[in-house]
Amino acid sequence: MEEVDWAIHNIIQTINLTKKYGELKAVDNVSLNIRKGEIFGLLGPNGAGKTTLIHMLCTILRPTSGTALINGFDIIKEPNKVRKSIGIVFQDPSSDDDLTAYENMEFHAMIYDVPVERTNILELLRLVELDDRADRFVKTFSGGMKRRLELTRGLLHHPEVLFLDEPTLGLDIQTRHKIWEYIREIANEKEMTIILTTHYMEEADSICDRIAIIDEGKIKAVGSPKELKNDLNDYKFIIKLNKNYDYLVFEKELERSIKRREIGVDITGVNITQNNAGNGVSANEVVLKIGLRINNESKNSDALLIDALISVKDALKEFKNFEITTIDLHKPTLDDVFIRYTGKKLREERAPPDRRLRMVASRMTSGVRIR
Amino acid sequence: MNIKKNVKAIYIIWLRGIKLSSRYKVGFISHLGQPLLWLLLMGTGLRGSVSMGSMGLTESTGIDYMAFMLPGIIGMSLLFSSMMGGMRILWDKKFGFLKEMMVAPISRVSIVLGNNFSIATISILQGIIIILLVPLIGVDLNLFYIPIALLFILMIGLTFTSVGIVISTQMEDFGSFQGIQTFLTLPLFLLSSAFFPVTKLPYPIQIIAYFNPLFYGVDGLRGALIGVSTLPMWLDLLAVTAFCAGLILLSAYLFNRSEGI
Ligand SMILES: Nc1ncnc2c1ncn2[C@@H]1O[C@H](COP(=O)(O)OP(=O)(O)O)[C@@H](O)[C@H]1O
Ligand SMILES: [Mg+2]
């Protein structure tokens, strides 16, 4: 019963899909199900095998073993039917530089046997704000413009599944935002299934319905961004204190004092760093980090954390009348999820702590100046 | 049904190729200018100094060296421009457009054939222009045989475009392509009887010439244009057609098999 159900809902089903280059397993035994209509993100460091996986699904690379079904068609046995069901924006530019934007679209329409009028093409170009450049050669376009052209070209033949391999790689932040905006619009309007790869965690977080984390060719975790982050269950209070004491002396006592209170969540660690100016910490501040794990599934986690924060504040006040300068709550981000599953950072910069809760926390702090 | 679809796909790829070529007027003109220069400078220079007797022809045929060279020069120009044109696949591979074609619901074979035909079309156009200019330099042509000459031109064009595509599928960068191409074209050209009949070569080398498609192409073209050839024209046509078909098939096979774009 259940299996039949899945078959209907899964527009893509990979079965032990594997690609070897010599000894290297670029894609290693991947079995994934992607549901119709979802935006599915593939996240992984460079060389994880994302592009290789997509190329196999697009029928331009032959799997070493395993296979996949797309829209009910086998990528090995029925590549032509698969090709009719998909559109793709490749990681590397793939538009024809020596043709105009319009000609690129027209050529694509001819190849896919889609009858189009000039007005249809201009309309699609307008979607990505390129209609005024329709008759310019693509070689005069910027990277972002080429990307937008490829995106709209990929939609021309109304594919069931659209693959986007690093659609925003190497683009500036405004262009990136625009591209995600288009992608969201498309997904909403056309009920298309979108599979994308990206390096930008926050963007994946905000746009994807579900995410697979891939490393060294293997799928390490699959789930919605929320599920993945919740599963991590690793929160932190980052409290800055004025440097009135030698805090290191108090570390153990403080931990005991906090743990003695029922703050509603588990404390996984207390850690004080002194003499660590820079990085947003001034010379006369000390950073206290308290690691937390939620053990009560039935309650709203934000409510639990805010209660806990108040308890911690009280504990600090009672303990030594510490002067708190700021309090931040760090909730798990996709970066954290990523590090957990792959043991590496995707990018050097850290994602900022969750904004909304940070505001709550700082609003609370402003009333908590303890003298 | 399927055939109709493939023909349409070939046509579309062909159209793209023609469109692209039409954008490179400089390339077209220089490919045209090169053989004309050869013909004018070499041909006129050697016209007086090479005796036709030494070419294995009697003076009485009334053919001078310029006329003798003409088919060879056309063959040479086809050889160069077709081989270069075959590089378009490599170009597309390098600059991404090939992938766009490879995920489209059209057969691999139609991609190769479409590219092949568009390049051959341009080569043939150049051949025709050269033939049209020939009366200006005082060589009499056999007008009746011009359609047959065009057939030979077509075969030479398709054959060497296929060779270019075969090389393209095996190479990853332009440097190695150019290297192989230079390595190949000179012997192909010298063993084609473009400047002298292969019968003038030592016997073992003559044998090698018989494996050279350009030899049959140039010989047949010479037969058609000025009425002199080493082999009967039908045999030339048969041989060059066989080479052409074989190389088109080989290029399609290799292209179909090639991965990792
Ligand atoms: N044609 C190829 N030949 C050999 N190794 C390759 C080839 N293509 C990719 N690889 C290797 O396969 C692995 C996965 O590459 P890729 O799929 O491009 O990763 P990603 O897109 O996640 O950055 C890398 O280690 C890469 O070096
Ligand atoms: Mg990649």
Q: Is residue A354 part of a domain?
A: no
**pLDDT digits over A148-162, tens only?**
999 999 989 989 999
Co-location of A145 and A277 in the same domain: no
**Which of the listed residues A25, A30, A51 should we mutate to test ligand 1's pocket, taking the one with most ligand atoms within 8 A of CB?**
A51
**End residue of a domain, out of A203, A229, A255:** A229
pLDDT class of A365 with cuts at 50, 70, 90? very low
CATH number of the structural domain spanning residue A225: 3.40.50.300
Q: Do B16 and A99 touch (CB under 8 A)?
A: yes
Q: Which residues from A are below 8 Å from B104, CB to CB?
A: 83, 108, 111-112
Main-chain dihedrals φ then ψ at residue A36, nearest 5 degrees: -60, 135
Model confidence pLDDT, tens digit, residues A315-341: 777 777 677 888 888 888 888 898 888
A47 ligand 1 Cβ < 6 A: yes
Query: Is the beta carbon of A342 within 6 A of some atom in ligand 1?
Result: no
**Which of residues A197, A229, A261 is at a domain's end?**
A229
A357 in any annotated domain: no
DSSP structure class, residue A16: E
CA distance, residue B228 to nearest chain A CA (Å): 44
Centroid of ligand 2 to alpha carbon of A163 (angstroms): 12
pLDDT at site A352: 40
Q: Chains A and B: how many Cβ contacts under 8 Å?
A: 60
pLDDT for A126-155, tens place per residue? 988 899 999 999 999 998 899 999 999 998
The closest ligand to the CA of A19 turns out to be 1
Residue A143 and residue A214 in one domain: yes
Ligand 1 near A214 CB (within 6 A): no
DSSP designation for A352: P
The CATH number that applies at residue A287 is 3.30.70.260
Select the residue from B99, B118, B257, B261 to test the A interface by mutation, using most A Cβ atoms within 10 A: B99
C-alpha pair distances (Å), B90 with each of B98, B172, B248: 9, 7, 16
- CB-based contacts of A82-86 (< 8 A; 24+ apart in sequence): A82/A58, A83/A58, A83/A59, A83/B103, A83/B104, A83/B105, A84/A112, A84/A157, A84/B105, A85/A159, A85/A160, A85/A161, A86/A57, A86/A58, A86/A159, A86/A160, A86/A161, A86/A162, A86/A163, A86/B103
Domain boundary pick from A198, A229, A260: A229
Same domain, A253 and A145: no
Q: What is the pLDDT along chain B (261 residues), one digit of tens a residue?
A: 578 888 999 999 999 999 988 888 887 788 778 778 877 787 777 777 776 666 666 555 667 778 888 889 899 888 988 888 888 888 888 787 888 999 999 988 899 999 999 988 988 888 888 888 877 777 777 778 888 999 999 999 999 999 999 998 888 788 888 888 888 888 898 888 888 888 888 888 888 889 999 999 999 999 998 888 889 999 999 999 999 999 999 999 998 887 645
Radius of gyration of chain B (CA): 19
Are residues A96 and B16, on separate chains, in Cβ contact within 8 Å? yes
Residues A211 and A252 in one domain: no
> B26 in contact with A at a CB cutoff of 8 Å?
no
Ligand positioned closest to the Cα atom of A27: 1
Report if residue A287 sits inside a domain: yes
- Give the chain A residue nearest B259 (alpha carbons): A61
**Are the Cβ atoms of A110 and B12 closer than 8 angstroms?**
yes
Q: What is the pLDDT of residues B182-230, one digit of tens each?
A: 888 888 988 888 888 888 888 888 888 899 999 999 999 999 988 888 8
| C-alpha distance from residue B159 to each of A9, B87, B156, B170, B224 (Å) | 50, 14, 5, 17, 19
Interval A196-216 mean pLDDT: 91
Contact check, Cβ <8 Å, A90/B96: yes
Contacts with B1 from chain A: Cβ below 8 Å: none
**How many CB atoms lie under 10 A from the CB of residue A15?**
16
- Domain co-membership, A58 together with A150: yes
Ligand 1 site, residue A52, Cβ cutoff 6 A: yes
Bridge partners (DSSP) listed for residue A211: A41, A223
Residue A358 scores a pLDDT above 60: no
B-chain residues near A103 (CB < 8 A): 19
Q: Which of A12-21, A170-179, B138-147 has the lowest mean pLDDT?
A: B138-147
Taking CA atoms, what residue in B is nearest to A86? B103
Question: Do residues A271 and A222 both lie within one domain?
Answer: no
Q: What is the pLDDT of residue A361?
A: 41
Q: Residue A349 above 50 pLDDT?
A: no
**Cα–Cα dist B168/B98, whole Å:** 12
Query: Is there an atom of ligand 1 within 6 Å of A50 CB?
Result: yes
**How far apart are alpha carbons B213 and A271 in whole angstroms?**
81
Which parts of chain A are beta strand (E)? Answer: 10-21, 24-30, 33-35, 39-43, 65-70, 73-74, 86-89, 161-165, 193-198, 210-215, 218-223, 235-242, 266-273, 285-293, 324-330
Which residue CA neighbors atom 27 of ligand 1 most closely? A47
Distance A59 CA to ligand 2 centre (A): 16
What tokens does B88 get?
A: 């378009």
Query: Distance between CA atoms of B100 and A83, rounded to whole angstroms?
Result: 11
Q: How far is B17 from chain A (nearest CA, A)?
A: 11
By three-state DSSP, how is residue A44 classified?
coil
Contacts of A90 in chain B (CB under 8 A): 96, 99-100
Same domain, A250 and A199: no
Q: In this structure, are A277 and A135 located in the same domain?
A: no
Q: What domain count does chain A have?
A: 2
Cα B206 to Cα B193: distance, rounded to the nearest angstrom: 10
Measured distance CA(B90)–CA(B168) in Å, rounded:
5
Do A324 and A238 share a domain, yes or no?
yes
From the number of C-beta atoms within 10 Å of its C-beta (0-12, 13-18, 19+), residue A25 rates as: middle
Same domain, A132 and A185: yes
* Shared domain check, A249 and A159: no
Residue A343 lies in a domain: no
Residue-wise pLDDT tens digits, B125-145: 888 888 888 777 777 777 788
Question: Does residue A21 have its Cβ closer than 6 Å to ligand 1?
Answer: yes
Say whether pLDDT at A264 is over 60: yes
Q: Which atom of ligand 1 is nearest to the CA of A42?
A: 22
Closest residue in B to A154 (Cα–Cα): B100
Confidence (pTM): 0.83
Domain co-membership, A106 together with A225: yes
Q: Is A254 in the pocket of ligand 1 (CB under 6 A)?
A: no
Parallel, antiparallel or unpaired: strands A285-293 and A324-330: unpaired
Domain span at residue A224? 6-229
pLDDT at A302: 82
ipTM, two decimals, is 0.83
Quote the pLDDT of residue B18: 92
Average pLDDT over residues A288-299: 81
